[in-house]
Amino acid sequence: MYPGNCWAFKGTQGYLVIRLSRMIYPTAFSLEHIPKSLSPLGNITSAPKDFSVYGLENEYQEDGHLLIRAVYNQEGEPLQIFNITINIFRACVYPKISGNANKITT
């Protein structure tokens, strides 16, 4: 990872849908952000904070099944893994990222 190689969302909240090629039994979700040491400003306020991951059965489903609600620790490792304890399979993963301290980008 390096600065600028990201999907920035304007504001404090963003949504992303990932369509997988087949049904899965998700067991974990990983989220990675650059470490402070690689940040030109010496901080990672653009890192997500609170986020949720939903499983969707098809592309037409609007409300998914909550798989995990977690917090990215900006003081922790750049790559963080969050275990999913709900045993549900879904065709898509719908991460909902919100609650960032940075009001400009998420």
With a cut of 50, say whether residue 19 has pLDDT above it.
yes
Quote the pLDDT of residue 103: 55
Domain of residue 45, residue span: 13-98
Return the number of other C-beta atoms located less than 10 Å from residue 101's C-beta: 13
CATH code: domain of residue 38: 2.60.120.260
| Burial class, 91, CB count within 10 angstroms (exposed 0-12 / middle 13-18 / buried 19+) | middle
The reported pLDDT for the residue numbered 93 is: 52
Residue 7: is its pLDDT beyond 80?
Answer: no
Residue 76, CA distances (Å) to 24, 32, 58, 72 in order: 28, 11, 34, 8
Position 97 scores a pLDDT of 43
CA of 63: how far to CAs of 53, 58, 94, in Å? Answer: 12, 10, 10
Residue 88 lies in a domain: yes
Task: Tell me the per-residue pLDDT of 31-88, one tens digit each, with 9 for 90 and over.
Answer: 988 888 888 888 888 888 888 888 877 777 777 788 888 999 999 999 999 998 876 5
Work out how many domains the chain is built from and give that number: 1
